[in-house]
Amino acid sequence: MLNIEKELPSFRLRVNLRVLNEFLVVVGPSGAGKTTLLQCLAGLQRPEEGEIVLKGRVLYSSTGRVNIPPRLRRVGYVFQDYALFPHLTVEQNAAYGMKNRRNGLEVQEMLEMLQISHLARRYPGQISGGERQRTALARALLAGPELLLLDEPLSALDYETRLKLRGELKTLQRRWGIPFILVTHDLEEAFALGDRVVRLERGEVVWSSSTRKRPDCTIRHG
């Protein structure tokens, strides 16, 4: 599904992964290239070599000279600081990426599922970190992605909220049936969340595990 190379200031990012409908966690120290990896997948950065294929659609291919822009990739991205639009309410944030923006019911259902429907008319500056996280999730999922990327989504939260959201993230992934790729530097979190955990160091996958048996998933080291 993805096989990319990109030169970073002090090393070369070289990743070759196949992701199924699973919760994949990429763990590694700061500066290992985790965020760059996600940004390449979302189209916010451009790899130098390789290819990215999502459900048969070529998103990037250096040999085929394909580089689909982010807006057409259908790759959801939950940013580390959530990147909520501060001038839009929770509801407006959530509905931003919807194809059919008039479908208020769908937004309502999503907000209810994530337990933030009572905050619909609040602005991001008026809600807590956990609530912002849920808003960012609602927004990313309502855009109908075929892959969801999460960049250290829990790192800014306190311990209790983190535990609670971990469970919810797992449930969401099962419910949506699309691959989630989450990056974190926290090993405990990685194993709590991931169906599979891969460790990235200086741009290379140095280790991978399967916390649940999935004989059909393969991983080749780049």
Q: Which one of residues 61, 62, 161, 209 is an interface residue with another protein (CB under 8 A)?
A: 161
Taking CB under 8 A as the binding criterion, the range among 20-28, 51-59, 154-162, 192-200 that sits at the site for another protein is 154-162
Taking CB under 8 A as the binding criterion, the range among 3-11, 78-86, 103-111, 204-212 that sits at the site for another protein is 78-86
Q: Which of residues 71 and 213 has its CB atom nearest to another protein in the complex?
A: 71
147-151: strand order across its sheet: 66-67, 57-61, 49-54, 2-7, 12-17, 204-210, 196-201, 23-27, 180-184, 147-151, 75-78
Q: Which one of residues 107, 150, 165, 181 is an interface residue with another protein (CB under 8 A)?
A: 165
Q: Which of residues 128 and 214 has its CB atom nearest to another protein in the complex?
A: 128
Show contacts with another protein in window 129-148 (CB under 8 A). 129-131, 139-140, 143
Q: How many residues belong to the site for another protein (CB under 8 A)? A: 42
DSSP the chain: -EEEEEE-SSSEEEEEE---SSEEEEE--TTSSHHHHHHHHHTSS--SEEEEEETTEEEEETTTTEE--GGGT-EEEE-TT----TTS-HHHHHHTT-SSTT-HHHHHHHHHHTT-GGGTTS-GGGS-HHHHHHHHHHHHHHT--SEEEEESTTTTS-HHHHHHHHHHHHHHHHHHTS-EEEEES-HHHHHHH-SEEEEEETTEEEEEEESS--TT--B---
Taking CB under 8 A as the binding criterion, the range among 85-93, 173-181, 186-194, 202-210 that sits at the site for another protein is 85-93
* 59 closest CA partner among 139, 145, 1: 1
Show contacts with another protein in window 170-209 (CB under 8 A). none
Instruction: Name the token pair of 189.
Output: 């979190």
Can residue 86 be called a binding residue for another protein (CB under 8 A)?
A: yes
Whole-number minimum distance, CB 212 to another protein, in Å?
27
Show contacts with another protein in window 20-39 (CB under 8 A). none
Q: Which one of residues 10, 30, 160, 220 is an interface residue with another protein (CB under 8 A)?
A: 160
Q: Which one of residues 113, 127, 217, 219 is an interface residue with another protein (CB under 8 A)?
A: 127
Interaction site with another protein (CB under 8 A): 42-44, 69-77, 79, 81, 83, 85-87, 96-97, 99, 121-131, 139-140, 143, 156-158, 160-161, 164-165
